A = this chain, B = another copy of it.
Amino acid sequence: MEFSFTVLGSSAAIPALGRNLSAHIVQHDSNVFLIDCGDGTQLQLDKHKIKKQKINQIFISHLHGDHVYGLFGLLTSYSLFGRVNELEIFAPAGLKEMIDIVFEKSFAFLTYPIKVHLLPTEGFNLIFENNKLSVFSFPLKHRVACNGFLFREKEKPANINPDKIKKYNLDYESIKAIKSGSDYITADGICIPNSEMVFPKQPLRSFAYCCDTAYNLEMVPYLENCDLIFHDATFDKSNQENATLTLHSTSEEAAQIALSANAKKLLLGHFSSRNKSLEVLLQEAKSIFDASFLAEEGKKVVL
């Protein structure tokens, strides 16, 4: 089952050096989720052949323009394609007012319903789930209300070994019990441990999105053992002062978070246009957390 993260824009604040504004895709099973939607996102979706009609949930971390101004064009284009499916948008307070006035003044007519969910400003909260995946939000440390997101697979019933069904001639009730974790007691009263009746479970995968944020160890408990963390790495360490001032992170700080959370991989993104080359950011991160990688337009990381 696919679980991947694709970068559509890796630039902070302004498009620069061929890097576009923040927009990212999470694909899980047959679901496509959009995280953030900077100016021109619909063009990036087309360029990287993302099936945008399949996006039914959009997660907006915060309302700075480089994360949200592409929404107006994307939402109206959906109408021009005749979309009928409801679109859910998870965002901080203020988005609905923006959309309402922009659509009123630009005579936009939507062919489908939009439901805007207000993101909580505190704590770790379940904001969306389907039968295979949960999405949680948690506060980041930025100049304005800003959220991180954790995408975590749900526990699935175990897959029973068909050879055991045959061997013990299992009935429906027994199969159901074994799939739920019970051991099996044979007609002779022998206990067969559950682990011998089912295939080993696939480990549950998780992905965390932490952008834009200052260095913040408080969120580490939410990120523990993540397969992939995407983290703000706006600056290299020579620009630590700017990072502190603007509540962004250096790539070293991003790496420290990944290390503290015992993550498997770290994807660095949201690069300042000061970074003509990104090699310094990568090396600084790798000195702390070796499994660090650079975001780039179109890059897909499979979990």
Contacts and interface: CB of A to CB of B under 8 A. Distances in A.
A97 interface: yes
Interface residues of A, number: 37
B69 A72 contact: yes
Interface string A104-119: 0111100000000000
Contacts of A38: 73
A70 interface: yes
Contacts of A10: none
A144 interface: yes
Of the candidates A14, A69, A72, A81, the one having the most CB atoms from chain B within 10 angstroms of its own CB is A69
A251 to B, nearest CB: 21
A204 to B, nearest CB: 36
B73 A107 contact: no
A11 to B, nearest CB: 10
Given A15-B42, A39-B39, A97-B101, A106 B64 contact: yes
A72 B98 CA distance: 12
A170 B107 CA distance: 63
A94 interface: yes
A95 interface: yes
Interface in A63-82: 63-66, 68-70, 72-73, 76-77, 80-81
A266 to B, nearest CB: 27
Copies in the complex: 2
A72 B105 CA distance: 14
Given A43-B39, A65-B72, A69-B73, A106 B98 contact: yes
Contact of A76 (B65, B73, B105, B106): B65
Contacts of A54: none
Contacts of A16: 46
A70 B106 contact: no
A144 B42 CA distance: 24
A107 B63 contact: yes
B105 A39 contact: no
Contacts of A46: 15-16
Contact of A69 (B20, B21, B80, B106): B106
Which among A43, A95, A143 has the highest number of chain B CB atoms within 10 Å?
A: A43
Nearest to A145: B107
Contacts of A81: 14
Nearest to A108: B65
21 contacts: A14-B77, A14-B80, A14-B81, A15-B42, A15-B43, A15-B46, A15-B77, A16-B46, A39-B73, A40-B43, A43-B43, A63-B106, A65-B72, A65-B106, A66-B76, A69-B69, A69-B73, A69-B106, A94-B105, A97-B101, A107-B143
